[in-house]
Amino acid sequence: MNIRTVATKPFQDQKPGTSGLRKKVAVFKTANYLENFVQAVFDTIFDNAAAPAGSTLVLGGDGRYYNREAIQIILRMAAANGIAKVLVGQGGILSTPAASAVIRKYRSFGGLILSASHNPGGPEGDFGIKYNTANGGPAPEKITDAIYARSRALTSYRIAEAADVDLDRRGRQILGDMVVEVIDPVADYAELMESLFDFAAIRELIGGGFRVCFDAMHAVTGPYATEILERRLGAPAGTVINGVPLPDFGGGHPDPNLTYADQLVAIMYGEDAPDFGAASDGDGDRNMILGRHFFVNPSDSLALIAANATLAPGYAAGIAGIARSMPTSAAADRVAEKLGVPCYETPTGWKFFGNLMDAGKVTLCGEESFGTGSSHVREKDGLWAVLFWLNILAKRRIPVEEIVHRHWAEYGRNVYSRHDYEALPSDVAAGLMAHLKGRFGDLPGQRFGDYTVKFCDDFSYTDPIDGSLSTGQGLRVGFEDGSRIVFRLSGTGTEGATLRIYLEAFEADPARQKVDAQEALAVLIAIADELSQLGQRTGRERPTVIT
């Protein structure tokens, strides 16, 4: 095998964010840009030497523009770095949760996942790359920091001179001294789902006329949902819409929320709406759940799955605990309390759940940002959440809305909303956060109408397993009655800064629970504006996205 050592210079901006390295496609196409990052990953995990004998890497992506080209480059670099074998999804496809499942099943040392999640794709869109470790989860900060440090010191990378691998042909191929095995991207994942959920019960539900609509948003879950929902569970053809993955996601924004999944929303709020609707994002790890004319808030979805977990065979023995990200509502905490299991509050980003799951402390995890999952893999998992809901519906046989209302009546409702202000000038966003933080000394005890500030802080987290400390994870303002407002800057946006404001109030009285969240939170929304000088500093009159 001919290996070239190519001289290179470090890039200043290769620091992985909340979910790996995400940049515009044009940046990734800059000479040596992708190569530098990949070499930095290999150097970090192989300690600046060749890969240990017999190492297997998992490789795949969400099929977005530049996916195939990037895979060919990474394959040649993997061979040059001494990796023995690469498992790559056919067509270069692996959803994020499927990649996690494959890493675990085949005991690979880790994987490279090519995705910018829900960010738009295409030549003008975004691309991304993320390294996952042997447990199938995103590399912890310790490793991503080391990768970044290594990328800053890099002077060369190694790449084999070889022809392209045929990504569409399943089976073994040889690249230099390395084996490339092109695998069915769906089979292992579908088998795992069958082991967790009562497929017979769901098949019966669907066979009885229960109607489902799943929007794959022209992203990676198309083939997964078609195989599982239509082939294995017997849903009629057409149940999966936008099921063909496209490099630019059909020009859409593959983020399953009320704004971007507008086609599904129109169907689920239309006349003759199906019984159940769901969507997933670019790389298949997010989920949105809808009933007929009804939206399930992701924080509620986590709580509800926890409360009903034993209805699914994979969770029949009960759950060990729950973890939720700090800005996620405390609805899950109430379920955990009732079940007598612990509930952990972690910073935003799935990587913080990995240690807790590896240590067996939690079974279910969730984020308000349409992320739900469990210890079956180490990523959030969109289709898993959809199947969990279908399993619950198959057992309880009442509409989605009714399930949620009964849950609120039993546990109380954490009324919740997130307001996003996208593409703000970075200095404006930083100034707003600094201003708010500057007020923290005086805020406790201050009254805003009926709300009295109880505490405010900048959230930090000490990992209970490895003791690592993460600071600066979001500004929290808590009120005496348990309501709270959280301000946080996004770590995944690629244009300016995105400010997220998370609003939460608690309603115990069932007679007052069925209200519109924006109305119920109106006073808190006004307080958020006053506390942060939001309108004045940003000039924005309303959020870009409301969830």
119 touches Zn ion by CB under 5 A: no
If contact means CB under 5 to 8 A according to the sort of partner, which of ligand G1P, Zn ion, none does residue 492 touch?
ligand G1P
490 touches ligand G1P by CB under 6 A: yes
Q: Which is nearer to ligand G1P, 332 or 392 (CB)?
A: 332
If contact means CB under 5 to 8 A according to the sort of partner, which of ligand G1P, Zn ion, none does residue 135 touch?
none
CA atoms within 13 A on the CB side of 543: 19
Indicate the length of the chain as a whole number.
Answer: 547
Residue type, 40: A
Q: 162 φ, ψ to 5°?
A: -160, 160
Distance CA 168, CA 181 (A): 11
Question: What x-and-dash track marks residues 260-289 binding Zn ion by CB under 5 A?
Answer: ---------------------x-x-xx---
- Per DSSP, the three-state class of 313 is helix
If contact means CB under 5 to 8 A according to the sort of partner, which of Zn ion, ligand G1P, none does residue 283 touch?
Zn ion
367 touches ligand G1P by CB under 6 A: yes
221 touches ligand G1P by CB under 6 A: no
- C-beta separation of 370 from 296 below 8 A: no
Q: Which residues pair with 358 in a beta bridge?
A: none
Kindly tell me which residue out of 56, 81, 90, 117 binds Zn ion, with binding defined by CB under 5 A. 117
544 touches ligand G1P by CB under 6 A: no
**Concatenated DSSP letters for 385-432?**
HHHHHHHHHHHH-S-HHHHHHHHHHHH-EEEEEEEEEEEE-HHHHHHH
Closest by CA to 8, choosing from 41, 23, 30, is 30
Q: How far is the CB of 181 from ligand G1P (least distance, A)?
A: 29
Catalytic machinery residues: 117
If contact means CB under 5 to 8 A according to the sort of partner, which of Zn ion, ligand G1P, none does residue 144 touch?
none
Q: Which is nearer to ligand G1P, 28 or 350 (CB)?
A: 350
- The one segment of 140-148, 170-178, 214-222, 489-497 that binds ligand G1P by CB under 6 A: 489-497
Q: 22 CB contacts (<8 Å, ≥6 apart)?
A: 116, 117, 119, 126, 127, 128, 492, 494
Kindly tell me which residue out of 6, 15, 18, 69 binds ligand G1P, with binding defined by CB under 6 A. 18
Closest by CA to 265, choosing from 297, 291, 235, is 291
474 touches ligand G1P by CB under 6 A: no
Dihedral through CA 7, CA 11, CA 17, CA 20, nearest 10? -20
Kindly tell me which residue out of 11, 295, 350, 487 binds ligand G1P, with binding defined by CB under 6 A. 350
If contact means CB under 5 to 8 A according to the sort of partner, which of ligand G1P, Zn ion, none does residue 252 touch?
none
- Site residues for ligand G1P per CB under 6 A: 18-19, 117, 325, 348-350, 367, 369, 371, 490-493, 500
